[in-house]
């Protein structure tokens, strides 16, 4: 790759102010950007784009989400086609899965039904790497459209605070052009190469390390409890020594993750990483074990299906 990716793309909100003249900044901030998927993650991201000065043209399939978004200051489009028609050059998709992205982008009344010219679609949903590559191929073959991927980490709290970590991939020039949008919703941007699926692979890597670490911290605390060691002091020890981790530093909130929300989402990613490991003959025994032990380690019961 031509540039050292992490150095080229990692930064914070301040980089936009440092690297643009007032005239350039005003031009960037006057843009209309489309945003599809105004749920738990999408709505606060759209709000942060609005706060950064972009005019956000939003849409969600659910009326309740559209009502909330309108109350939060987002301009609501009449349809997906209308989103693409109003957006100047970019639409973000933050819907649930591959099927929803297909419908949003390539459906009969989807974004491409507006026949946009030169549109960039940023898929910020979590898909598996190969599926994201397939989506990119289908979308770019369907018209004068570019697709890049930008998976996120940080959860609803990070979305609200505008501190998401963004794992971007796709054509380097297109990703670089999207940087002002990423800066509005996140505090760190990482670039992983030209294939859209690389973004998703990076997120699976991050989450498999998260899952393994959660199991390790929980197991250590359980062992300590047998000897009546104060949990708070063990966590203080972790933070000050070689047992340190994001999980240890945020254990108060991590330990409250519920079986039907955050833990379920994490387990989905652990399973996806496990399946990709099997498919590509990559041994990942710790990921496999953490998948089966996650709910037990966290003292939660998985919801019956």
DSSP 94-107: --SSHHHHHHHHHS
Do residues 101 and 130 make contact, with C-beta atoms less than 8 angstroms apart?
A: no
Per-residue pLDDT at 18: 44
CATH number assigned to the domain covering 201-296: 1.10.1040.10
- Angle formed by the axes of helices 285-297 and 262-279, to 10°? 160
Do residues 89 and 54 make contact, with C-beta atoms less than 8 angstroms apart?
A: no
Q: What residues pair up with 151 in beta bridges, in sequence order?
A: 167
Q: Rounded distance, CA 101 to CA 257, Å?
A: 27
Residues whose CB falls within 8 Å of the CB of residue 266, separated by 6 or more in sequence, listed in order: 207, 210, 211, 214, 257, 294
Do residues 125 and 152 make contact, with C-beta atoms less than 8 angstroms apart?
A: no
Q: What residues pair up with 35 in beta bridges, in sequence order?
A: 58, 92
Query: Which residues in the chain are classed under CATH 1.10.1040.10?
Result: 201-296
Question: Encoding tokens for residue 95?
Answer: 């819907």
Per-residue pLDDT at 260: 87
* pTM for this model (two decimals): 0.85
Given CA atoms 130, 133, 135, 137 in this order, what sign does their dihedral have? negative
Q: Rounded distance, CA 74 to CA 220, Å?
A: 46
Question: Encoding tokens for residue 197?
Answer: 């699926």
Per-residue pLDDT at 7: 38
Q: Rounded distance, CA 282 to CA 204, Å?
A: 14
Backbone angles phi, psi at 34, to 5 degrees: -85, 150
CA 265 to chain centre: 12
The residue ranges of the chain whose pLDDT is under 70 are 1-30, 304-305
In this structure, the strands spanning 186-191 and 164-169 are parallel
Question: Encoding tokens for residue 257?
Answer: 């993750």
Per-residue pLDDT at 4: 38
DSSP code for 112:
G
* CATH class assigned to 5-194: alpha beta
Q: Which residues are catalytic?
A: 203
Q: Rounded distance, CA 282 to CA 293, Å?
A: 20
Residues whose CB falls within 8 Å of the CB of residue 250, separated by 6 or more in sequence, listed in order: none
Per-residue pLDDT at 17: 45
In this structure, the strands spanning 32-36 and 186-191 are unpaired
Per-residue pLDDT at 28: 53
Per-residue pLDDT at 20: 45
Per-residue pLDDT at 26: 52
Query: Which residues in the chain are classed under CATH 3.40.50.720?
Result: 5-194
């Amino acid at each position: 790759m031509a540039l050292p990716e992490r150095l080229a793309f990692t930064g914070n909100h301040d980089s936009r102010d440092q690297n643009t003249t007032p005239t350039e900044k005003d031009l960037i901030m006057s843009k209309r950007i489309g945003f599809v998927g105004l749920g738990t993650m999408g709505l606060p991201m759209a709000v942060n784009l609005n706060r950064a000065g972009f005019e956000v043209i939003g849409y969600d399939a659910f009326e309740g989400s559209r009502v909330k978004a309108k109350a939060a200051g987002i301009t609501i489009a009449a349809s997906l086609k209308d989103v693409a028609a109003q957006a100047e050059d970019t639409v973000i998709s933050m819907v649930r899965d591959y099927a929803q992205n297909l419908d949003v982008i390539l459906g009969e009344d989807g974004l491409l039904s507006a026949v946009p010219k030169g549109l960039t679609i940023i898929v910020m949903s979590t898909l598996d790497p190969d599926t994201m590559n397939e989506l990119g191929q289908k979308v770019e073959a369907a018209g004068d459209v570019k697709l890049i991927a930008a998976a996120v980490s940080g959860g609803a709290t990070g979305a609200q605070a505008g501190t998401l970590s963004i794992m971007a991939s796709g054509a380097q020039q297109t990703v670089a052009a999207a940087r002002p949008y990423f800066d509005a919703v996140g505090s760190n941007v990482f670039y992983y190469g030209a294939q859209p699926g690389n973004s998703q692979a990076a997120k699976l890597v991050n989450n498999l390390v998260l899952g393994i670490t959660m199991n390790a911290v929980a197991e250590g605390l359980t062992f300590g409890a047998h000897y009546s060691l104060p949990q708070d002091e063990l966590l203080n020890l972790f933070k000050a020594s070689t047992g340190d981790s994001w999980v240890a530093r945020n254990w108060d909130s991590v330990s409250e993750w519920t079986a039907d929300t955050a833990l379920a989402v994490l387990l989905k990613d652990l399973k996806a990483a496990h399946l990709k490991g099997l498919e590509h003959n990559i041994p990942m025994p710790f990921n496999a074990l953490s998948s089966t032990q996650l709910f037990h380690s966290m003292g939660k019961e998985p919801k019956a299906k």
